[in-house]
Structure 1
Amino acid sequence: MLDVVVLGAGLAGLSAARDLRSSGCEVAVLEARDRIGGRVLQTTLDDGRLVQLGGELIGSTHTAYRALVGELGLTLRDSYIAEPGQTVWDIDDSVSVGDPAPWMTDEDRSDYDRVVGLFVDLAKGIDPDNPWSHPDAVALDATSFYHWLRSVGARDAVVRMFELAKAGLAADTLKRTSLLAELRKAAVAGDELVNYYDVDQWTRSTVAEGSATVAARMAEELAGHIRLSCVVTEIAVHPDHVDVMLATGEVIAAANVVCAIPVAPLRRVAISGLSDERLHALRRIRNSLSAKVVAAYETSFWRDLGKNGSSYSEGLVGATWIQGPGVISALVTPAQLAFHMAGDQSARDRDALEALARMYGPQAAKPKALFTREWSAEPFTLGYMAHYAPGDLTAIGPTHSRPEGRFFVAGSDYWVAGYMEGAVRTGRAAASAILAR
């Protein structure tokens, strides 16, 4: 019998398996897809440039991921923050360019700073590992981020700026976002917290060799211990072991299981032997829905226009940023995903290129290559990042990521500050908890 069976070969599962294997455990990693990597994926252009189709950005507070990159002999480089030029704003059916946002007045900007100060002060009272311990946790969770902004007298332009920020992250709207969840996410920065969303803390770096190379290097270390195309249909947790049943009917027994299956696909898996409270917490977690679009060009032509490739929009794509030389990344917002998915691939491509051309001119409509990844429609992902609507955190409770018996969970859905960081952090934490026993 195996010491540990790990379900999922994304960053979380691979991180857990790598630490367990290096400590002498007999491990098997079962992956439903025909590839490793989960929500990180990359391809190579004819000219050798790497293109990231999934996760790519990390910040200074993403300490677990940064440490893993170093252990694997990989390197970090500056992300889009090093790109010259100014930000594009596509709102009210018009496009403007500038930093700070040219559509805001001096009074708007002053009020934004005031509101951010209130938010930061409130966030510093939240324990990100245990937000439920806050004396007003229930009330904060029941309050939407939108309602809180209005309660502190935020100007209309300030509310719009926060809404643009949410859309740019492919998160759901302010009205469908728990204030407690938003505060918890910010509180991860600790003493470094000075702003609502600081690029140094969140997105200042990327892996020079490609984000998917992180997963590939771990998979190389686990050669012979990863099985692909293994669809899990049932997990039975017993007092002395765990049985994992596959769609083929095969049953794999192990002393422990690390479940790194994303929460939406996990709902299709029958689980027995866990408490009702634990199962409820697993099922209640939800993801925001998004697609990623990547356009690759011969040159970084936007520089000649005085633009830095970063944008915020109320249209199809909530934000764009520069992935690398000549490469623009974009996220389809949850509010626009139904429209995006309603068309065939040619319509999706056309709509995405029209959105880019609005912001960057006709040259943006003629990329060398265009990629679309509908992560929310992929059967073994069914989502983008964890999202907490008002009331969710209270309903889920602090049991959401704790081990129970021989059942351990890992994955970006269980950590709130960066989904690659969340995957690595919780994967390694699950391995540590097993080894401690």
Structure 2
Amino acid sequence: MNRSDVIVLGAGLAGLSAARDLMNSGVDVRVLEARSRPGGRVEQTTLADGRLMQLGGEVIGPSHTAYTQLVGELGLTLVPAFAGLPGDDVWLLADGRHVGDLPFFDDADRASYERCESEFRRLVASVDPDDPWSHPDAARLDQLSVGQWLREVGATPNVVRARDIAMLALAAESVERTSLLSDLRKEAVTGDPSAGFYDYDVWEVSRVAEGSATVALRMADELGHRLTYGAEVVRVTVSTRGCAVELATGERYTADAIVCTIPVGPLRRIRIDGLSDERRASLDRQRHALTSKVTVAYADSFWARDGLNGTSYAETGMMGGTWVQRDGILSALVPPERQSAFLSTAPGRVHDELLDELVATFGPDARTPQSLMVRRWAVDPFTLGYITSWRPGDVMGVGPLHGTHEPPFYIAGSDQWVCGYMEGAVRTGRAAAAAMLGA
């Protein structure tokens, strides 16, 4: 029998953040991680020339204050990300390749876009990100897809098309399958009165110079022997008289309380006794967008010689778009809509088709990378997704239990914040630890 004060399930950013704060407050904590490494959806590898290549989460925005504070505590540094790079975007559309501004917009489309974004901004100001359920029109806003709403307020077909292409680049769900209330809530959390449609200059302006996965590795080093790897959880028992965790190996751990940071997809496979039906129903209602990530390393940023910034948007192909991770390294996401073609293709063929798309985007120099790596987060058994996805009706379906706790069972993870990403993991991990210590 393995006994501790608190068991933390999962050694991603959320679990590590919670465990680190508990440890530093004198709590005897044990972290159980199914993988053989820490970090969850942040992971990195070192190339032969010493450059770090990020295979998971990378970038943050100025409203990501919990993550920024943690980076400082760990002695790491933030540097500008891709959003400020000079050069033109590339658009791979159904009618071919285009460089520069959005190619299919005319003056009427631009005016329509501005009107729609102004109305979206007005609605953002009316939503409390901590309590969107209190909005007087919450149910209707949640049932509306972003696409439906755009048409309701008079968006031209090209405006809807542009927003859908933007969602593909983010590997989010289509505007036709995204709750309007969820999108409003996401932008409201920035606290920026000018927040409109998703903007790289708001959400993706900084990265950790030493590598985003280094944040997890530093915390794991601090926790040391308190981490147990290869610990796949199959059953959890929650009780005020004591909690228990059973592993696939049959090994059993006990504690006074549990912090669960396992993503909602894999969590469905775990039997949990002692939670209320309402809590379990809320957790079961959450979704992850099924996404894979592609990272490609070249000797240098050759695209800059052609006046390009490395950012692209793809209406066709498997990738939704690209961005510059750091010098010579491109990142891309395969959106949910394209996972079937991606996952059903032989690995060698996937490699060739990805290079074909990169050549179509950036020219023949893209044919010979130093490295091309894929992380199929959509089917990773301990992730089953990448970012939180909110389809119409999901915000109300998950309900106000979202992100709250049912002591002695505490919940954290990117799923539990407004819109996922690394900030959501750190913010909710530290909040769960604080709630437990307060109790």
Give the TM bin, normalised by the shorter chain.
over 0.9
Deviations 1:55-111 (A, max 9, x none): 00101111110110011000000111232211011112311111x323211221121
Q: What residue is the counterpart of 2:259 in the other structure? A: 258
Query: What letter corresponds to residue 109 of structure 1 in structure 2?
Result: R
Query: What letter corresponds to residue 221 of structure 2 in structure 1?
Result: E
Superposed counterparts of 1:3-402, under 5 Å: 3-98=5-100, 100-315=101-316, 316-402=318-404
Moved more, 85-94 or 54-63: 85-94
Residue 416 of structure 1 deviates from its aligned partner by 2.4
The RMSD of aligned alpha carbons is 1.0
Residue pair 1:58, 1:418 contacting (<8 A) in 2 also: no
Deviations 1:344-371 (A, max 9, x none): 1101111111111111011112111100
Moved more, 416-425 or 6-15: 416-425
Structure 1 length as normaliser, TM-score? 0.98
Residue 418 of structure 1 deviates from its aligned partner by 4.4
Residue pair 1:54, 1:292 contacting (<8 A) in 2 also: yes
Give distance in 1, aligned partners of 2:182 and 2:302: 39
Deviations 1:141-192 (A, max 9, x none): 1111111001001011110111011111101111111111111101111234
Query: What letter corresponds to residue 389 of structure 1 in structure 2?
Result: R
Give distance in 1, aligned partners of 2:179 and 2:199: 20
Q: Secondary structure at the match of 1:39?
A: coil
Give distance in 1, aligned partners of 2:346 and 2:180: 37
Deviations 1:248-273 (A, max 9, x none): 11211111100000110000000111
Superposed counterparts of 1:395-410, under 5 Å: 395-410=397-412
Query: What letter corresponds to residue 186 of structure 2 in structure 1?
Result: K
Residue pair 2:188, 2:195 contacting (<8 A) in 1 also: no
Residue pair 1:40, 1:52 contacting (<8 A) in 2 also: yes
Give distance in 2, aligned partners of 1:201 and 1:138: 27
Residue pair 1:141, 1:393 contacting (<8 A) in 2 also: yes
Q: Secondary structure at the match of 2:220?
A: helix
Give distance in 2, aligned partners of 1:197 and 1:381: 25
Residue pair 2:142, 2:393 contacting (<8 A) in 1 also: yes
Give distance in 2, aligned partners of 1:61 and 1:159: 27
Give distance in 2, aligned partners of 1:175 and 1:303: 35
Residue pair 1:53, 1:294 contacting (<8 A) in 2 also: yes
Instruction: Identify unmatched segments of 5+ residues in structure 1.
Output: none
Give distance in 2, aligned partners of 1:221 and 1:272: 32
Give distance in 2, aligned partners of 1:418 and 1:101: 28
Structure 2 length as normaliser, TM-score? 0.98
Give distance in 2, aligned partners of 1:32 and 1:342: 26
Query: What letter corresponds to residue 406 of structure 1 in structure 2?
Result: P
Q: Secondary structure at the match of 2:256?
A: strand
Deviations 1:109-131 (A, max 9, x none): 12111101100100111111111
Deviations 1:43-64 (A, max 9, x none): 0110001100000010111111
Query: What letter corresponds to residue 286 of structure 1 in structure 2?
Result: R
Residue 390 of structure 1 deviates from its aligned partner by 0.6
Deviations 1:216-255 (A, max 9, x none): 0101110110000000001110122211111111211111
Give distance in 2, aligned partners of 1:418 and 1:143: 21
Give distance in 2, aligned partners of 1:80 and 1:191: 21
Give distance in 1, aligned partners of 2:176 and 2:201: 27
Residue pair 1:202, 1:418 contacting (<8 A) in 2 also: no
Query: What letter corresponds to residue 38 of structure 2 in structure 1?
Result: I
Give distance in 2, aligned partners of 1:180 and 1:134: 10
Cα 1:339–1:147 shift into 2, 3 Å: same
Residue pair 1:60, 1:200 contacting (<8 A) in 2 also: no
Query: What letter corresponds to residue 72 of structure 1 in structure 2?
Result: L
Moved more, 415-424 or 192-201: 192-201
Give distance in 2, aligned partners of 1:410 and 1:177: 23
Give distance in 2, aligned partners of 1:191 and 1:38: 30
Give distance in 2, aligned partners of 1:233 and 1:220: 26
Q: Secondary structure at the match of 1:420?
A: helix
Give distance in 1, aligned partners of 2:178 and 2:22: 36
